[in-house]
Structure 1
Amino acid sequence: MLAATALLATTALSGLTFATGTARAEDEIRIGVIYPLTGAAASTGVELKAAAELAAAIVNKEIPAPAGLVAGVGMPHMKGAKIKLVFGDHQGNPQVGATEAERLITSEKVTALTGAYFSNVTATASQVAERYGVPFLNGESSSATLTQRKFKWFFRTTPHDDLFVTNFFTFLNDMEKKTGEQLRSVGLFNENTLWGNETTKLQTKLSEEQKFTIAEKILYPAKTTQMTSEVQRLKAANPAVIMQSSYLGDAILSMKTYKELGFLPKMLLANDAGFNDSEFLKTMGKDGEYIISREVWALDQAERNPLIKQVNDLMRERSGVNFNGNSARAFTGIAVLADAIDRAGSTKPEDIRKALQETNIPASGLIMPWKGVKFDEHGQNELGQGIIVQVQGGQYVTVWPFDVATKPVVYPMPAWDKR
C-alpha cells in the first residue's frame, strides 16, 4: 500500500521536467487551488479566486510588484518559471473537496495545493495531499485541529480559532473595564460543521474558565433555510452578547430573522467568514451596521503598513472590490507558497516542504497586520495575530486592540429603527 501510494505520488508530479531539481524557464509551476466556486458560498469563492489570481499575476510580473512584498516575484531561483493556478470547485462539500484534491494531483499534475476556506473541506483535501506527499498551504481555514493532526505536508498561515476565541474574551474583559458594564451573559450561535462545532467547544471552555454565563447554546444546521425557532430561543434567553459563526448565506439569514423578530443583543461578535464577505454589506445595508467581528486584515491598517493600500488598490482595480479578511488571507497563502517554491529552487515536494519549514517572512513583507510568517513544528504560523473590527458607515474599522484601533467601539448596538 505504501509503495503504491509513493508510486502514485511520483506519477502525480511527473508533469514537470527536472534536470537537477530545478525548473526550466519554459516550465509552468502548477499550483492547485480549491475553493467553493459554486453553491451557497460561490460569491466568497469568486473573491478568493480573484485574490489568488492577483498574487499569481504579481509573482509572474504581469503587473508591477509593490516594493517590499515577499512573494517570490519573478521566481529568480526557478529561472523565471511562471506560476499556473489550476482551480478546483469543492461546492462546500468535504467529499467533493477530497475528490478535487485527488484530481488536481493525479490528472493536473500540480506541484502543491492551497485552499479550501471551509475548514471541513480543508480537512479532507489535505488528507489527500498528505497521502500523496504533496505540500498543502492553507491560507484561510481556522479550525484549531487542522494543525494538531501531526501531518508532514500541511502548513497554515492564518491564525486559528484558539487565538480568535481567546481574543473575544479578552476584548469583552477590556470592554467591561472601559464601559463599566457587565457583559457576562453570552449566547453561542454557530453552524454545525467542523468549524462551528470546534468554535463552540472553545467558547464553552473559555466561558467556564473566565466566569461568563452561557445563556443559550445553539448549533444550527449548515445551509439552513430558516432560523425562526433558533432566534426565538436566543430572544427568550436575552444574552448581552451573541457569539456567532456563520458562512455568508446563514449570516444574512440570521440578521434578517433578528430584525423580523425584533431581537438585538447589546453586541454581536462574529467569527469572521460570512459577516466579512463583501456580499454581506451589499445585501444588508444599514442592517449590517455595528456588527463586531474578529479579523486578520483591515484597510484602515494601511496607515501603519503602506503595502496594505498598495496591494488593495491592485485588487480593487482588477476585481472591483476591496480585500476582506478572507481574500487577503488567500492572497497571502499564494504569496507565501510562491516564495517557498522560489527559495527551494525546485518543484520537488520534499524541497518545497523544507523551504516552507524554513520560512521566516518579516511583518514588513506582508499585507497582514501580523508579526510575520514562521511555521512551528506542526505547520502553524506562530507569528499570526488577530484584530477586531466593527462595521461603521459601511466600512470595517479596527476597534481592538485599543492601541491600534482607528475608531472607538459603538456600544451598545443602536436599535433597528435608530439607524
Structure 2
Amino acid sequence: MRRFVSITMALALVVGVAACGDGDEAGAGTEVRLAGLWPLSGPNATQGTDVLHGAELAVDIVNNDHPGVDLPLAPGAGLPGLGGAPIKLITGDTQGKPEVGAGEVDRLVTTEKVAAVIGSYQSGVTLTASQRAERLGVPFVNEASSSVALTERGLKWFFRTGPTDETFARSMFDYLRARQAKGERIGTVGVFHSNDQFGNDGAGVTEKVAAEIGLPVVVNVAFDPTAADLASQVTQVRAKNPDVLFVLAYTDAAIKLMKTLDQLAYHPPALLAYGTGFADPAFASGLGELADGVSTRAAWSGEIAAKRPAAKTVAELFQQRYGAPMTENSARAFTAVLALAQAIDAAGSVEPAAVRDALRALDVPGEKTIMPWTGIRFDGKGQNTGAAGVVEQMLDGRYRVVHPADLASTEAVWPMIRARQ
C-alpha cells in the first residue's frame, strides 16, 4: 500500500513550514481555513444543509479528541502534522447557481484565504466553481457531484472522492441483470432527467451502459427543473411504457414526479433514481407512502454502516448532533473533508501545491472510511478509483439495501407498486 506521502517529502514540507512566516503557510497551532461551498438557500437548501452537517461533523472529529472513533485524525485534537492546528470551515452559499458558486470561490480564496475548497453538491455548480479554483491554483475537493464530465476536463487541482454516474449506472444495470436472472421481464428502459449538467450527463451515461448490455432506451425525456408541472413529460414516458424508468432529479422535481405518477395512475414496474433528490430526507417525509417502492443508487447506506464500527459510531454522533439520520449526502461530505484533512496533515502545509501533491499520494483503505468502498485513491484525472455504489429501495418509509446480494438486507419488491399495497 502506498504511503500517504513519502517521508522525504513530508520532512521537506515541514521544514518549509518552519522556515516560512505567517504568509501562505500554516505554522504550529495556526487554524487551517477550508471553504465549504453548497446551496444553503434556494430550492436545494435542504440537501445543502444536510451536506454541510456532514462536513461540520468531520471538522469536529479532527478538532476534538474522539478516541472511540476508529478513523484517521479522530484520536487527539487538531492536525498533528501542523502542530495540532484546528480546522475552521468557512461556508459559501451557491444558491444553486453556477455563477454564484464561481463568485464565492473568488471570495473564499482571495478574501477568506482558504487553503482548499470542498463542494458544491450540484454538478452544474461544481463545474464552474472548480474551474474558478483551477484558475486560482487552489485544490477543489468534490464530495457529491457525480457527472462524469467533471473529471474529463484535464484539470490539475480537481479531486472527487465519490463515485461517478457511470459507476452508479453499472451498479444499477448489474441489479437489473440480477432481477432478470430471477425471472423479471426487463426488455426496455426509459430515462427521465433534468435539463442541466447533472441530468444531461447522467442520461448520456445511462444510454451508453444500456447499449453495452443490449437494453434499448425507448424514451428519453428532459424536463425543466423549475417547471411547475410535469404531466406532459410523464405522459410522454407513459406512452412508451418502459420496463424500468431511470430518473435524475433534485428534491423538488423528485417529489413532483412521484405525485404526478400517482395522479396519472401510471406506475412503471421499477423506478431507479440517481440519488440526489431521492436521497434527501425531505423526499420521504414529503411523500409518505407514495415514496415506497422507489429504488436509488447510493454511495453510502446506514444499514451497511451499522456493520462497520467507525461508520456506526459516526452515524450515531450525527443523529445526536442534528436530530436526523445521516444520509448519503452528509456521509459523502464527511468523507471528503476527512480525506482533505489527511492530505493537509500529511503535507504538513497549506501551500496549495503541497496539498495537491498530498491528495495525489493519498491512499486510505476502505476500513478507515465510513463508506462501503475499497478506499480513497485518486487517479490522474482526480477521480477516486475506490468509490462504489449499492442499490436501495424505499420500503415502509426507509431505504433498504437490495443489491449487491452480499450486502443486501432484504429482497427487492417488484413491481414497485406492490410496496404500497
**Which one-letter code corresponds to 2:151 in the other structure?**
T
Shift, 1:70, TM fit: 2.2
Question: Residue type matched to 1:59 in 2?
Answer: V
Q: What's the Cα RMSD here?
A: 1.6
- Residue matched to 1:163: 167
Q: Can you give the 5+ residue segments of structure 1 that lack an aligned partner in the other structure?
A: 1-16
- State yes or no: 1:75 paired with 2:84: no
Tell me, yes or no, if structure 1 residue 406 matches structure 2 residue 387.
no
Choose which of 20, 26, 31 in structure 2 pairs with 1:28.
31
- Rounded Cα–Cα distance in structure 2 between residues aligned with 1:280 and 1:389: 14
Instruction: Please tell me whether the aligned partners of residues 37 and 120 of structure 2 are also in contact (alpha carbons under 8 angstroms).
Output: yes
Preserved CA contact (<8 Å) 2:69 2:314: no
The one-letter amino acid of 2:125's match is V
- Give the counterpart of 1:233 among 227, 233, 236: 236
Q: Tell me what 1:84 maps to.
A: 88
Which residue of structure 2 lines up, in the alignment, with residue 114 of structure 1?
118
Q: Summarize deviations over 1:289-321 as a string: whole Å, max 9, x none.
A: 111100011111134311121000111111111
- Match runs of 1:165-180 below 5 Å: 165-178=169-182, 180=183
TM-score, normalised on structure 2? 0.92
TM-score by length of 1: 0.92
Query: Which position in structure 2 is the counterpart of 1:6?
Result: none
Q: Counterpart in 2 of 1:194?
A: 197
Does residue 146 of structure 2 align to residue 126 of structure 1? Answer: no
Take 1:328 and 1:205, find their aligned partners in 2: how far apart are those partners? 29
Matched, 1:393 2:396: yes
CA contact (8 A) 1:390 1:398 kept: yes
CA distance in 2, matches of 1:172, 1:415: 18
How do residues 52-63 of structure 1 correspond to structure 2 at under 5 angstroms? 52-61=55-64
Work out the percentage of aligned pairs sharing the same amino acid.
39
- In 2, distance between residues paired with 1:18 and 1:94? 36
Runs of 4+ aligned residues of structure 1 deviating over 6 Å after TM superposition are: none
Distance in 2 of aligned mates of 1:18 and 1:166 = 50
Offset at 1:232?
A: 1.3
Could you say which residue in structure 2 is the equivalent of 1:355?
Answer: 358
Q: May I ask how many residue pairs the two structures share in their alignment? A: 400
The alpha-carbon deviation at position 209 of structure 1 amounts to 2.5
Q: Per the alignment, in what secondary structure is the counterpart of residue 371 of structure 2?
A: coil
Residues 211-252 of structure 1, C-alpha deviations (whole Å, 9 max, x = no match): 212221101112222101011112222111110000000000
Q: How many angstroms does 1:22 deviate by?
A: 5.5
2:223 aligned to 188, 196, 220, which one? Answer: 220
- Structure 2 regions of 5+ residues with no counterpart? 1-19
Indicate if the aligned counterparts of 1:111 and 1:347 stay in contact, CA closer than 8 A.
Answer: yes
Structure 1 contact 71–336 (Cα < 8 Å) conserved: no
**Comparing 391-400 with 244-253, which one deviates more in the overlay?**
391-400
Closer, same or farther in 2 for the Cα pair 1:415/1:389, shift >3 Å?
A: closer
Report the secondary structure of 2:406's partner residue. helix
After TM superposition, the structure 1 stretch with the greater mean CA deviation from structure 2, 330-339 or 303-312, is: 303-312
Pairwise CA distance, 1:386 = 0.8
Q: Tell me how far apart the structure 2 counterparts of residues 380 and 409 of structure 1 sit (CA, whole Å).
A: 31
Shift, 1:48, TM fit = 0.9
Q: For the Cα contact (< 8 Å) 1:30–1:86, is it kept in 2?
A: yes
1:263 corresponds in structure 2 to 266
